[in-house]
Chain A
């Protein structure tokens, strides 16, 4: 069974930093691209960042470029710096395309971790 479990969320001051993790099981992690998608409470989905299977390519939404860094080794990570109130959201990790595919739809999702940026 494919499982993705996010962790690392919490409350942080504006300007602060947080690192999210996503542990996966049930599939070959090294065979798939991965992504982060966020959802502010009561709002819609916003794609945040993506990384291909070997970390050779990374992609970011303009809203987080220069502040967030996506990475992977045996898990998926999102380093979030210079956090703002508008970054408050549930952050979901999701599985992207397999090796040799460039079709960035997301077929498995974690349950999310809540990041709250507030003073």
Chain B
């Protein structure tokens, strides 16, 4: 099973700042099969990025994903009020599909 470790656990930033979230895999994720989700309190997760760098339908271009192998990054270029949430990475390169433990982006 591929274990995903996200860092930091919590990111405290101000509106307009850049957020950089990390997701590290315990072994290589084949073909960059990694996704990112956003979850707000009381809501279901929302798909942001798939295939490491492809934005899902309707996702603003301030969200970008990068990486390969074992190291992946989600970047939010300029934080908007609605971006404060918990973010999860998920690998779909090999079963069982696994999620990271999440990074909370909070208002500083």
Q: B44 touching A111 by the CB < 8 A rule?
A: yes
Shortest Cβ gap from B5 to chain A (Å): 12
Binding stretch for chain A, among B18-26, B68-76, B89-97: B89-97
Q: B45 touching A103 by the CB < 8 A rule?
A: no
Q: Closest A residue to B1 by CB, please name it.
A: A62
Q: B88 touching A109 by the CB < 8 A rule?
A: no
Q: Which of A61, A106, A110 contacts B47 (CB 8 A)?
A: A106
Main secondary structure of the interface of A (DSSP, over half): loop
Q: A103 touching B50 by the CB < 8 A rule?
A: yes
How many angstroms between the C-alpha atoms of A104 and B97 in the bound complex?
8
A45 lies within 8 A of chain B by Cβ: yes
How many angstroms between the C-alpha atoms of A92 and B43 in the bound complex?
11
| Extra A-B contacts (6), CB below 8 Å, given A47-B98, A62-B96, A105-B51 | A37-B99, A45-B88, A46-B99, A47-B99, A105-B90, A107-B50
Which residues of A are interface residues toward B (Cβ below 8 A)? 35, 37, 44-47, 50, 59-62, 92, 103-112
